[in-house]
Amino acid sequence: MKNKRIAMLILEDGTRYKASHFGAKTSSSGEVVFNTSMTGYTESLTDPSYKGQILTFTYPIIGNYGVPYPYFNEKIHKFYESDKVQVSGLIISYYSKRPYHWNMYKNLSDWLEEHGVPGLYDIDTRFIAKKLRKKGGSMLGKIVIEKEDLPFYDPNKDNLSQKVSTDKKIIYGNGKYQVLLVDFGLKNNILRCLLRRNCTIIRVPWDYDFTKDQYDGLVLSNGPGNPKIYEKPILYLRKALKKETPIFGICLGNQLLGLAAGGDTYKLEYAHRGHNQPVLLLEKGQNFITSQNHGYVLNPIKIDREWKIFFKNLNDNTCEGIIHKWKPFFSVQFHPESSSGPRDTEFLFDIFINSIIRKNH
């Protein structure tokens, strides 16, 4: 980053923030959201759930440990959640110009520039997060570099999975349990969590007709956008619900499973963003801290009577997951595979694998 370039963040309500620029020298438009994590900015920036979004970090220092080297393990990036930066832009308070870490590959600015993503700093990001919180957790916005203006863009109107899902079938591992994983924009840590549990993973595109395949368990990944856009997967799920094969849905996967079961979804007044969302496991009365990034949530009122609420959010009492009363189907709105954390709920992968074991015996 040779010169300090002046740029601007413009929100849809007309608010303008003058800032310093780093990363790619290009303007960008999208949905401005926030994240409260203290570490793990490389994981968040490569999370496909942020596709079409301009991400604001509330933690004041970003870039201090640079970007790790892109190692691969089992065809998976060891430190990233996908193969590229997924966000449309980055907003931070203070950019650390002298990063240091034993595993540093390059600095954050050069990495963003490599992926064509602009960033802004010298902005009060906590004020922006407070403003966004009052507007449903997000607002449309744009990063304007050197008067290169562009229109606002609403990613919720698009099928973003077409941009972030795999376009072919991919096999991972050689484990005992055959798991079909529908990729709506999955985080790599879902793959890691399943591989650690003796699984062979068949990763398929978002619109793949999985009703014709044989497998031990079905996983519906996280992903970006409005769940009601995904009409094909919902139809396939309605067929799958007539069988007994275990199903585990995560984030968007939870919403799609709920829609297939007769429920509805709506956009939250206060979206769930951050690494500190408390949820309650209703059956046992246990509280867990979770990572979340979603503006839509499942309304279970019209859901079939064979289902019940699995988790609920302790901030607003919204549904955070559903579970079938006797079939091995369940889903959660939060991220049990969260990377860089918290990982309090990774045990849900064990519940899924145990349901496969019970079905096979």
Catalytic amino acids? Answer: 251
Question: DSSP string of 263-319?
Answer: -EEEEEEEEEEEEEEEEEETTTTEEEEEEEEEEEEEEGGGS-TTEEEEEEETTT--E
Q: Is the peptide bond prior to 246 cis by the omega test (within 30 degrees of 0)? A: no
Contact (CB, 8 A) for 81 and 48: yes
Rounded to 5 degrees, φ, ψ at 79 are: -115, -5
The dihedral of CA 291, 295, 301, 305: what is its sign?
Answer: negative
The DSSP secondary-structure symbol of 51 reads T
Quote the CA–CA distance of 32 and 135 in Å, as a whole number: 11
Burial of residue 24 (number of CB atoms within 10 Å: 0-12, 13-18, 19+) = buried
334 burial via Cβ count (<10 Å: 0-12, 13-18, 19+): buried
Q: Which helix (H) or strand (E) segment is 249 a member of?
A: strand 247-250
Provide the CA 289 distance to its chain's centre, in angstroms: 16
**Cα separation of 354 and 349, whole Å?**
9
Alpha carbon of 116 to those of 75, 88, 89, 112: distances in Å? 24, 9, 9, 6
